[in-house]
């Protein structure tokens, strides 16, 4: 009698979810949301414009694919390949999925696989004709492929990428999350397949092709994992979104048995290679990282430069305000001397004014117009007198635009009415 994996679950545990996916799903979601927050805040919302353009590009590309799928592939239904459609319905019931996604049979030009996709809230599962034909005499193997793709739909793998997108390119993390999803979907495939050995043999179609898979030995193939755990094998798996197929066969035959461990040194090198997607691998991951850094730099660098400039102005303003306050004694004495003698003194000493700040910086007097200047780290501060209501008033000025921006508001000419 066929034996299926039980779908009984609690709120904390789902038997069809690979354990690592639970942790990686939470981690990537939290980091992804934080990444979006930092990206939007750090670019003052400008990043949303780029997101909009990317979304428009996605809509055009995905709509073209879906249109081609509907116009070329055969949609499974009770009237069209009812045997395959019946398997879809039965598998959806086993996976507790009340809505049966649209299912299609498509010629893959010799490719042996299946995939799931989504467009504007509608899920699509596509079986390539090559794998269906190869497993014609092993229908439970077809069930495994159906269950695997339905796993992506049931676990919302097709929608969760958006929130995690800012961190999915990260080395080790993005690829590990993708591999855990594949392992989860293999468990879904097992739930729809009556026999683990049949499921393992079905996976061999991807390794041996549409004919030779029948004579391949699943146990021997799974054992290849034992001899394929060296440095380079581990490295290339760590930057890839799929586990090695031999490991998948190992897990399908015995989900509870741990697969051979990778070489630990492989993690050190993989740490420096960003993840570029299941198809991209390491090279496209590097290209993806360069493009992302370029876009972020184009958006974030101007915002950062503006922040640095503002911080510099605030620092200079504090320095100029300090110098203005220290020059008060000189301004008072010079003003008093002018009002008493109706003449500009020949020197600061003649007016009884200090000739330097307490820290040693000299004060310079222009005897033509009684302007007092002093050097600061923000530039030269000029204390400029003028007569208002028969009294000497003072304003602050600078000799360059950067220092001008940092002048204290309390002494600017516009603040005094001069």
Which token pair is 245?
A: 């197929």
pLDDT tens-place string over residues 95-127: 999 999 999 999 988 888 999 999 999 999 999
Q: Does domain 303-416 have CATH number 3.20.20.70?
A: no
**Do the bridges between strand 364-366 and strand 371-376 make them parallel or antiparallel, or are there none, so unpaired?**
antiparallel
For 176-232, write each residue's pLDDT tens digit. 999 999 999 999 999 999 999 999 999 999 999 999 999 999 999 999 998 888 999
The whole-number pLDDT of residue 197 equals: 95
Q: Are 126 and 69 in contact (CB under 8 A)?
A: yes
Q: Over range 4-20, report the average pLDDT.
A: 65
Cα–Cα distance list, 389 to 177, 244, 378, 393, 406 (Å)? 76, 89, 32, 9, 28
pLDDT (0 to 100) of residue 309: 81
Domain ranges of the chain: 19-279, 303-416
Tell me if the pTM is above 0.85: no
pLDDT in tens, 382-407: 999 988 877 899 999 988 888 888 89
What pLDDT score was predicted for residue 10? 40
Are 283 and 275 in contact by the 8 Å Cβ rule? The answer is no
How far apart (Å, rounded) are the C-alpha atoms in residues 257 and 40? 44
Average pLDDT, integer, range 406-417: 73
DSSP per residue, 89-133? HHHHHHTT-SSPPEEEEE--TT---EEEEEETTEEEEEEEHHHHH
């Amino acid at each position: 009698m066929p034996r299926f994996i039980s779908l009984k679950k609690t709120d904390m545990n789902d038997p069809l979810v690979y354990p690592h996916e639970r942790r990686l799903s939470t981690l990537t979601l939290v980091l992804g949301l934080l990444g979006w927050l930092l990206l939007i805040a750090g670019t003052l919302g400008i990043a949303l414009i780029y997101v909009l353009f990317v979304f428009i590009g996605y809509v055009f590309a995905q709509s073209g694919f879906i249109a081609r799928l509907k116009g070329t592939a055969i949609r499974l239904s009770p009237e069209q390949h009812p045997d395959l459609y019946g398997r879809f319905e039965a598998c959806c019931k086993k996976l507790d999925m009340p809505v049966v996604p649209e299912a299609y049979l498509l010629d893959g030009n010799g490719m042996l696989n299946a995939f799931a996709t989504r467009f504007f809230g509608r899920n699509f599962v596509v079986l390539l004709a090559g794998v269906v034909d190869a497993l014609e005499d092993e229908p439970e193997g077809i069930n495994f492929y159906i269950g695997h793709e339905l796993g992506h739909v049931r676990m919302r793998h097709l929608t969760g990428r958006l929130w995690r997108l800012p961190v999915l390119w990260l080395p080790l993390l993005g690829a590990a999350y993708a591999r855990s999803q594949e392992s989860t979907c293999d468990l879904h495939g097992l739930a729809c397949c009556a026999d683990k050995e049949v499921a393992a043999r079905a996976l061999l179609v991807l390794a041996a092709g549409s004919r030779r898979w029948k004579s391949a030995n699943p146990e021997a193939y799974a054992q290849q994992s034992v001899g394929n755990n060296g440095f380079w094998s581990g490295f290339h798996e760590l930057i890839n979104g799929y586990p090695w197929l031999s490991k998948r066969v190992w897990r399908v035959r015995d989900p509870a048995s741990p697969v051979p461990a990778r070489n630990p040194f492989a993690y050190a090198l993989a740490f420096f290679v960003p993840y570029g997607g299941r198809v991209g691998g390491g090279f496209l991951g590097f290209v993806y990282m360069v493009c992302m850094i370029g876009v972020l730099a184009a958006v974030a660098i101007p915002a950062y430069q503006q922040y640095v400039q503002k911080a510099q102005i605030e620092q200079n303003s504090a320095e100029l305000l300090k110098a203005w306050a220290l020059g008060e004694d000189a301004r008072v004495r010079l003003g008093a001397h002018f009002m008493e003698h109706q003449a500009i003194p020949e020197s600061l000493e003649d007016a009884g004014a200090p000739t330097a700040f307490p820290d040693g910086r000299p004060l310079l007097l222009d005897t033509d117009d009684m302007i007092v200047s002093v050097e600061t780290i923000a530039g030269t501060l000029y204390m400029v007198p003028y007569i208002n209501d028969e009294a000497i008033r003072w304003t602050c000025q600078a000799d360059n635009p950067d220092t001008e921006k940092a002048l204290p508001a309390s002494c600017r000419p516009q603040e005094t009415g001069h």
